[in-house]
Amino acid sequence: MLYHIKKDDFKSIINNKNLSKHQRTETFALFSRINTLYMIAKAGSGHIGTSFSSMDIFSWLHLNVLTDNDLFFSSKGHDAPGLYSVLIGIGKLNYNNIHQLRRLNGLPGHPDVTTTPCMVTNTGSLGMGVSKAKGLVKANRLDGKDGRVYVLAGDGELQEGQFWESLAGAVNGNFEEITVIVDFNKFQSDTCVSNVSDLGDIEGKLVSYGWYVQRCNGHNLEELSNAIETANQVKGRPQIIIADTIKGCGVSFMEATTMGNDQECYKFHSGAPSVEDYEKAASELIGRANNILQQVNLKSLQVVKVPREAVAVPENNVHKLIPAYEKALSDLGGKHENIVVLDADLMIDCGLLSFRNNYPERYVECGIAEQDMISQAGALALKGKLPISHSFACFLTTRANEQLFNNASEKTKCIYVGSLAGLLPSGPGHSHQMVRDISALGGIPGLIMLEPSCEKEVSFVLEYAVNKTNNSSYIRLVSIPYEIPYELPKEYKLIKGKGISLTEGGDVIAFSYGPVMLSELYKASLALDKKYNIGLKVVNLPWLNFVDSEWLCNEIGGINKIITVDNHLINGGQGQYIANALINTTAVNNITLVNMGVDDIPSCGENKEILKFHRLDAESFVSQIIELHEKQ
C-alpha cells in the first residue's frame, strides 16, 4: 500500500490559530514529507534525499515569508517533489497532482514553467540560479515593481562555474532583492561533497565576493527565520544563507548522518524506495505526525491508503548497457596503462566504479564541473595519455561544447562517453532527456559518434574507440535496462560507416541505432509482416555521423521507401546524415525518404506513454509505415 494525507489535514494546520508559526511549519513540513514520499513511490522515481533536506526551508518560506510580490525557485531543481508537495499543501497546485508526478500532463521531474503553475523558471541544469535571479530583479526594476527573489541552491551545485561567474555581477548591481539559501546537506548525488570537490571555507569565499553571508541550522526554524529576517534588512548587496541540513532529514534511516563508516554511497539520492523501506519510512513519518497532533489536541491524520500499481518488469533478454560498459572499460584499463578515466560526479551512473577500484591512480573525479573535466582531458591527451571523460549526455555535450572543440583543434585523441542519452528515461523531464547531443557535436571536426544497440555491441564500440581509430570519439549510451527482441549475428563486426540488418523485408527499410528505437522497430516489423504482409527491413547503424555510401546503397537495394528513426531531434540527427549520403549518390533513384524522431522539446512521463506521445513506439511505427507503404 501507499499512503498520502488529505487536503483537509493541511488546511486544519494552516488555519489553526492556536499553533505558533514554528509549530504550524514543523507539522506542515512533516505532512509534506509524507506526501512527497508517496509521490516518489507512486512515480517509481524521484529524489527523496534532497527533497527532505529542503523541506523545512520550503515550508517556512511559503507559510511565513513569501508575499504576492516575491518570487521563489529552486536552482537545483531535483528537489521538485518536495516543492510540489508544499505547493499542493498550501493550495497553489491542484491536490490531484500528488498522483501525477512524472506522468504525461502531470508534474514533470524537474520544474517547467510551460506545464506547471507557480514555477518561476526551468531548472535541473545546475548553476543557473543566481543568474536567473539577477534577470528577474532587473525586469522588476525596469517595470517599477517591488519584490524579493529567493533562490534555493545545492551545495554540490556550487561546483558549477556559472555559480561563481554570477556572484560578482550581483554585487556590482547592488541586487539587494536577492536572497540565496544554500541547502548545505554535504552530499552531492551519492557521495560526500568533501570527497569529490571540497568547497573549503565557503563562507570566506562568498564574503570575498561582497555578499552578505550568514550560516544557520536549516532544520531549526528559529535560526532559519532569524537569518531570513536579517537578510531582508540588508541594503545595497545580495545575501546568502548557508543552511546546514541533513540529506534525507525526517526519516531516521534515510538521513545521511546515519551512514556507516564502511558505506561510501548514500542510498536515497534518486529513485524510488524499496517496498520495505517505503513502509518503514511512511510508518515513521505518520507516527510522528500523529504524536505531534495529539500533543496539540488535534485529530489524528486522515491517511488515505492507495494500492500499489503493478509495475511491468522486463523479463526477456533485458540488456543493461551501463554494466556492460563498466566491464569493458575495466578490462581495457588493464591492457592500456595510458587510459585515464575522468568523471563529473556520476561514478555509479556512468559505470566507473570497477575502473576506479582497480586503477585509482588513473581515475580523476572532477565533480560537477564538466568544462574543467574536458579541458583536463585535452591536456592529458597532449601528454600522450588516452583520456575517457564521462557524464550524462545532457551535461557533457552542451556545457563543455567549447572545450570539446578546443580539444579537437589540438588534433589529439580523446574519448567522451555520454550516458542517459535519448528520450528515455522520460521521468526526469527535458533537462535530462538528451535529444540534441548528435547535433551539438556534429560540427566538431574529426569526431566519430557511435551508439551501441546491445551489451555485445558496447564492447565493440569501446574497443573501436580505444584501439581501432586515431580519431576522437563520442559514445552515446542508453542508461535504462531495455528488453531487446533481437540479437546481433554471430559474425557481426563493427566496420566504420556500416551496419547490419536485423530483419528482412522488401517493402520498406528503416535505419536506426540503440536499444530503444531498434527494439520498437523490430516489434513493428513482426507486426507488419504478420498482420499486413508488409516487409520492413530493420537496419542497425551504430555510426551516428558517418555513413558509407556504397554500403548504404547496397543495403537499400531495390527498396524505394526509406525511413530513418532517431532517438534524438530529427534536426541534426543520424537521419540527416543518411539523407545527405543518399543525395550524394546516383545509385538510388525514385525513393521516398521519411525522417522520424523527436520533433519538439521532449515531454515528461512514463517511458511507454512518452514513446507513444512522440509516435516512436512499435504501434505508432506500424501505422506510419502502413501509410507510407500505401503511397504510390
- Are residues 113 and 204 both part of a single domain? yes
Residue 495 lies in a domain: no
Of 306, 329, 358, the position where a domain reaches its end is 306
Residue 154 lies in a domain: yes
DSSP 310: P
pTM of the model: 0.95
Residue 312 lies in a domain: no
Enclosing domain of residue 413: 318-483
- Are residues 362 and 300 both part of a single domain? no
- Are residues 428 and 293 both part of a single domain? no
Strands, E, within 325-407: which ranges?
339-343, 363-365, 386-392
Residue partners of 632: CB distance under 8 A and separation at least 6: none
Q: Can you read off the three cell numbers belonging to residue 177?
A: 532583492
- Are residues 360 and 478 both part of a single domain? yes
CATH number for 554: 3.40.50.920
Residue 488 lies in a domain: no
- Are residues 340 and 389 both part of a single domain? yes
Q: Are 97 and 84 in contact (CB under 8 A)?
A: yes
CATH number for 265: 3.40.50.970
Q: Are 357 and 329 in contact (CB under 8 A)?
A: no
Q: What is the pLDDT of residue 124?
A: 87
- Are residues 151 and 203 both part of a single domain? yes
Residue 530 lies in a domain: yes
The residues that bridge with 449 in the sheet, in sequence order, are: 474
- Looking at the structure of the chain, the number of domains it has is 3
Burial 386-405 (b: 16+ CB within 10 A, else e): bbbbbbbbbbbbbbbbebbe
Q: Are 104 and 606 in contact (CB under 8 A)?
A: yes
Residue partners of 66: CB distance under 8 A and separation at least 6: 72, 150
Listed as ranges, residues in the chain with pLDDT below 50 are: none
pLDDT digits (tens, 9 = 90+) for 244-279: 999 999 999 999 999 887 788 899 999 999 999 999
Residue 311 lies in a domain: no
- Are residues 462 and 555 both part of a single domain? no
The C-alpha atoms of residue 494 and residue 473 are separated, in whole angstroms, by 14
Task: Write down the number of H helices and E strands in the chain.
Answer: 22, 22
Q: What is the pLDDT of residue 83?
A: 98
Residue 403 lies in a domain: yes
Residue 200 lies in a domain: yes
Q: Can you read off the three cell numbers belonging to residue 499?
A: 551496419
- Are residues 120 and 201 both part of a single domain? yes
Peptide bond preceding 425 in cis form (omega within 30 of 0): yes
Q: Mapped to the 3 state alphabet, what secondary structure does 312-324 carry?
A: CCCCCCEECHHHH
Beta pairing, strands 318-319 & 482-483: antiparallel
- Are residues 302 and 385 both part of a single domain? no
- Are residues 113 and 219 both part of a single domain? yes
pLDDT digits (tens, 9 = 90+) for 3-33: 999 999 999 999 998 899 999 999 999 999 9
The C-alpha atoms of residue 136 and residue 180 are separated, in whole angstroms, by 14
- Are residues 380 and 253 both part of a single domain? no
- Are residues 472 and 556 both part of a single domain? no
Of 483, 513, 542, the position where a domain reaches its end is 483
Beta pairing, strands 212-217 & 239-244: parallel
Read out DSSP for 520-577?
A: HHHHHHHHHHHHH---EEEEE--BSS---HHHHHHHHTT--EEEEEEEEESTTSHHHH
Of 306, 333, 349, the position where a domain reaches its end is 306
Read out DSSP for 93-124?
A: S-GGGGG-BTSTTSB-SS--TTTSTT--S---
Q: Counting beta carbons within 10 angstroms of the beta carbon of residue 529, is it exposed (0 to 12), middle (13 to 18) or buried (19 or more)?
A: middle
Q: What is the pLDDT of residue 587?
A: 67
